[in-house]
Amino acid sequence: MPTKQRRYSLKTKEAKQILTEASTNLKLDLEALFGSKVNVEVVESDVGLIYLIGGKPLFYKAGDRILPTLLFTEFTAQAPKIVVDMGAVPYVCKGADVMAPGIVRIEGEFSKGDIVLVVDMKFGKALALGESLYDAEAARQTKKGPVVKTLHYVSDKIWDYTKTLTE
């Protein structure tokens, strides 16, 4: 459990800047989703910066990028998906990159470097968010090696911490 925590609201200009950056990263119109005047709160903790919108931890800062959390259901519902077999699930849930042999199918279109959602084939549950190492067509053709670099996964520090913010 993180020890340090500081929570505060961002000024409108800073909030707009964060949402603009996240919109660009995700190729998603967040202003249409949340409206133009949105209250963004920041939680500074041992695991990093977590951004809350409407009290929900929807984004986090990784290095110099703003990325969605797995709790951002509006994003996970429409994100391109990499569906993995059940044998890959325990590895992905421990942070392993997604390897081509574990991929059952790819849903949606994306470019190299885009954020994709990794889900299991049985339940369609979100397991991880990652950065695609190929565009969608090349990823479908790849038979070996890593296809998605995992950035955030269930049971990582961000996941565990964001769960404490929603309880």
**pLDDT 10s digits, 150-166:** 999 999 999 999 988 87
Q: Which two tokens stand for residue 130?
A: 């990652």
pLDDT of residue 25: 83
How are strands ordered across the β-sheet holding 56-62?
5-9, 40-45, 48-53, 56-62, 65-68
Residues of the chain with CATH 3.10.450.120: 5-72
pLDDT exceeds cutoff 60 at 1: no
Read off the pLDDT band of 36 (50, 70, 90): confident
**95-106 residue pLDDT tens:** 999 999 999 999
CB-CB contact of 44 with 152 (8 Å): no
pLDDT of residue 3: 55
pTM, rounded to two decimals: 0.90
pLDDT exceeds cutoff 80 at 29: yes
**How far is it, in rounded angstroms, from Cα 165 to Cα 102?**
33
**125-153 residue pLDDT tens:** 999 999 999 999 999 999 999 999 999 99
Q: Kindly report the CATH number that applies to the domain delimited by 5-72.
A: 3.10.450.120
**43-93 residue pLDDT tens:** 998 888 999 998 899 999 988 889 999 999 999 999 999 999 999 999 999
Q: Is 74 exposed, middle or buried (0-12, 13-18, 19+ CB in 10 A)?
A: middle
Q: Which region, left, alpha or beta, applies to residue 94 given φ > 0 means left and ψ of -120 to 50 means alpha?
A: alpha
Residues of the chain with CATH 2.30.130.10: 75-153
- Closest to 158 measured CA to CA, from 32, 65, 33: 65
Amino acid (1-letter code) at residue 77: A
Q: Kindly report the CATH number that applies to the domain delimited by 75-153.
A: 2.30.130.10
pLDDT of residue 56: 92
